[in-house]
Amino acid sequence: MGKLNIFSSVFKSLTGCKKGSKIEKPFLNRLLHMTVCRLLFFIILLWASPGYCNDSDQLFDMIKQYWSENGDSAYLKEKSVSKRSHLLQSAHLARMVGAPEHVIIGLLLEQAGSLENEAMDENLQMDRLDALWARENAFPESVVDWLSRKTLLKIVLCDRESAYCQHIPSSLKQSIPAERKKLITSEHDIEHLLSRHDLEALLAARRCVDMAILEGFSSREEDITSLLPDFESYRQMFKRVREGKGHAARNGRWVEALKLLQEGMWEDIDAFLVETKLYTQKHFQLAVTTF
């Protein structure tokens, strides 16, 4: 009881109440009002933060609209593959082999930094922007982590697998020396990455990026001949992943499946197209002759 009296005295002295007086109800109402106002103020500040969107459906619609309007530009100089088609191809490949949902959505967000800064073409800078965008928009760390290491993973794969380095597009190869030099002094230490228990899963996601360069496929949602599942087909998955409720892998061997799929793509593109169902009679020849 003594402690309660001491607390009451201190509280009254801090709030201007006279000694011996009761804490009046109007005062408590004002205190409650101030607390609620401050809480609302901080919520508004959070919502007003650059790049932040609280509603997942609204954020998804924004991404979908952006790529509908800006996705026709080329993903690579030497390939007739649009940025939109590239994203949908990579996400499709991961979903097809039963990868975890955070991996699939991470691939769909590969160029998310473009939503706020379209001028960034340098890979390492783009990685940082992609990761920053994902963090600001409350995606789980697994997605942020992948986005920040896309270029580093390409370098690791080139170091480990000569066939990989031989088959990736020349523009991706040519940038490696400069990227490696920058990474030596960056926070992304290659040795640390090589010691990670989830390294193979991260590398498998990178394989999807490098396989998603097939030409001749429409990615326009209004095109009824489109071979690729459209952005809309990922909406519910997108919401689950953002809420930290993304489903685990449907296939315990999805990492191995993607490695085999990539090797198969190098050896027999016809069989690859059939295996991945990325063809129709209309597109098959075009895809085969331009790979």
Q: Which pLDDT value is given to residue 10?
A: 40
Say if residue 91 is in the same domain as residue 229.
yes
Say if residue 24 is in the same domain as residue 42.
yes
Check if the beta carbon of residue 177 is closer than 8 Å to that of residue 149.
Answer: no
Say if residue 126 is in the same domain as residue 16.
no
Q: Which pLDDT value is given to residue 269?
A: 79
Q: Which pLDDT value is given to residue 193?
A: 84
Say if residue 92 is in the same domain as residue 221.
yes
Say if residue 12 is in the same domain as residue 115.
no
Q: How many domains does the chain have?
A: 2
Q: Which pLDDT value is given to residue 7?
A: 39
pTM of the model: 0.74
Per-residue pLDDT of the chain (291 residues; tens, 9 = 90+): 554 454 345 434 434 445 555 545 565 566 566 666 666 654 444 444 444 457 999 999 999 999 999 888 888 887 788 899 899 999 999 999 999 999 999 999 999 988 876 655 566 778 889 999 999 999 999 999 999 999 999 999 999 999 999 999 888 999 899 888 877 655 557 778 888 999 999 999 999 999 998 876 554 444 434 567 889 999 999 999 999 999 999 999 999 999 999 998 888 877 777 777 665 434 433 333 333
Say if residue 13 is in the same domain as residue 83.
no
Say if residue 110 is in the same domain as residue 219.
yes
Say if residue 90 is in the same domain as residue 222.
yes
Check which CATH number belongs to the domain holding 217 and give it: 1.10.3210.10
pLDDT, tens digit (0-9, with 9 covering 90-100), for 205-224 = 999 999 998 876 554 444 43
Say if residue 63 is in the same domain as residue 157.
yes
Domain range for 221: 56-290
Say if residue 218 is in the same domain as residue 142.
yes
Say if residue 82 is in the same domain as residue 20.
no
Say if residue 151 is in the same domain as residue 24.
no
